[in-house]
Amino acid sequence: MQNNRSLFKKYIAQSSDFEPFSLDIEKGEGVFVWDKAGKKYIDFISGICVNNVGHRHPAVIAAIEEQMRKYLHVMVYGEFIQQPQLDLAQALCAQLPERLQEVFLLNSGSEAIEGAIKLARLYNHRSQIVSFANSYHGSTMGAMSVLGNTPIQQRFDPLLPNHLLLEYNNVAALEHITDKTCCVVAEVIQSGGGMVEATQEFMQALRERCTQTGTLLIFDEIQSGFGRCGKLFAFEHYGVEPDILCLAKGMGGGMPIGAFIASHELMSLLDNEHPLMGHASTFGGHPLSCVASLAALNTILSLLPQVESKGQRIRRHLQELPQLRSVSGKGLFLAAHFNDPTATAKVQARCMENGFITFWLLFNHTALALTPPLTATEEEIDLGMEIFKKSVRQAGI
Ligand code: PMP
């Protein structure tokens, strides 16, 4: 497929300065994808935690097919009553605590972060925004402003002013959150850093500090949510609730959708005397995405009890590899850590040759993500992990 590869390079704006994988995809089903040459790959990356219910889950496909016969886009978000939006929002709120009971539907994670930050601004009119080193929250200007990597941000300066970056899991650093801080944006488990789990102590201290100072706590569960970590949302592991929850990726079962969720009281700040001028989105809560999302949610809820044991199964396989430095993460949100970036790149190249899809992490170049669909059976996990182990051994590291 050399021809398509050069067209891809020529016409599709590139997002990496190095050679992308350029898998020329023919189809996806369950935990597998096939390229146009007929080669089959087992997918242990799930489109970066999007395909939590696997590729083309039958419930998702059926929901889309039914909805597409009724209507597609009819009106900008928030003007017409659309049953798919209502059903989804109600189903989500039924799973969430009392302070998270109103849903703003969007198209992506970055947009959810933008909406959440704007809502926090309307709440306390403060300017300072705190986030943590090695966090990723999206690539729009507001989301990029709270990225946990200053050199990358500087390429786009000036971003939002008054951003303060703190060290993750450092309880003492939380004293820098004060009554001047508008909001804190935090991942519950940092993916880009290499599936770094927040400690219980840190999460609790963060919540307390935000409450004390009138600062809104925004959790970015765009990757860690929707069953990845063994509960619907990773924050449930900590017994600590955010004021605003941001979601996307796995939310759509393979369709584009995002949301931020808050209390009725907070959300009411967005409807004001200027219609559509609080936060607006033409395609937010697209009916096809909403029905897909509801089907995915129901599927994920039924899979939750299996996630932890499937994750443990992967960990048991990884114990056979002396080449590994460590394994981090929760549930099926895992990272395998090697000793250096060269070793990691060699393993990844072997994995691709052998038909196993994994991916590097944004801020940690010595780790590979292991995030298969939650629908992967034990046999499929074993199949994938045998290929992974073989690839590590062949890499000669
Ligand atoms: N937050 C996190 C934790 C993410 O992983 C991502 C996407 N990688 C985003 C935000 C941004 O989401 P999107 O690409 O849908 O805008």
Q: Name 197's bridge partners.
A: 189
Q: How far from chain centre, in Å, is Cα 248?
A: 6
Cβ(222) – ligand 1 distance below 6 Å: yes
Give the torsion sign (CA, 48, 49, 51, 54): positive
Cα of 318 vs centre of ligand 1, distance in Å, is 27
- 114 C-beta closer than 6 A to ligand 1: no
Centroid of ligand 1 to alpha carbon of 223 (angstroms)? 7
| 141 contacts 156 by C-beta, under 8 angstroms | yes
User: For position 17, what pLDDT does the model report?
Assistant: 74
The residues, ordered by sequence, that sit 6+ positions from 333 with a Cβ below 8 Å of its Cβ are: 49, 189, 191, 195, 223, 224, 228, 229, 234, 311, 371
Ligand 1 neighbour 43 (Cβ under 6 A): no
Place of tokens 């400690």: 199
Assess whether the C-beta atom of 108 lies below 6 angstroms from ligand 1.
yes
**Token pair belonging to 109:** 């994670």
Cβ–Cβ under 8 Å, residues 178 and 125: no
Cis previous bond, 158, omega within 30? yes
User: pLDDT tens, position by position, for the chain (397 residues)?
Assistant: 458 988 998 999 998 877 778 899 999 999 999 999 999 999 999 999 999 999 999 999 999 999 999 999 999 999 999 999 999 999 999 999 999 999 999 999 999 999 999 999 999 999 999 999 999 999 999 999 999 999 999 999 999 999 999 999 999 999 999 999 999 999 999 999 999 999 999 999 999 999 999 999 999 999 999 999 999 999 999 999 999 999 999 999 999 999 999 999 999 999 877 777 888 999 999 999 999 999 999 999 999 999 999 999 999 999 999 999 999 999 999 999 999 999 999 999 999 999 999 999 999 999 999 999 999 999 999 999 999 999 999 999 9
Q: What is the pLDDT of residue 1?
A: 47
CA distance 76 to 278: 14
* Cα 78 to ligand 1 centroid, rounded to whole Å: 23
Would you state the pLDDT for residue 2? 56
Q: How remote is the CA of residue 37 from the centroid of ligand 1, in Å?
A: 31
**Span from the CA of 352 to the centroid of ligand 1 (angstroms):** 24
Could you identify the atom of ligand 1 that is nearest to the CA of residue 258?
15
Both structure tokens of 297:
């949610």
Whether the CB of 278 sits within 6 Å of ligand 1? no
Q: Whose CA is nearest to atom 9 of ligand 1?
A: 138
User: Pocket of ligand 1, candidates 249, 251, 360: which has the most ligand atoms within 8 Å of its Cβ, to mutate?
Assistant: 249
Does the Cβ of 380 fall within 6 Å of ligand 1? Answer: no
Going by alpha carbons, the residue nearest to atom 11 of ligand 1 is 138
Residue 193 CB less than 6 A away from ligand 1? no
Ligand 1 pocket residue status of 104, Cβ below 6 Å: no
Q: Which pair of structure tokens corresponds to residue 108?
A: 């992506």
Any ligand 1 atom below 6 A from CB of 333: no
Among protein residues, the one with the nearest Cα to ligand 1's atom 1 is 137
Residue of 135, 168, 222 best suited for mutating to test ligand 1, as the one with most atoms within 8 Å of CB: 222
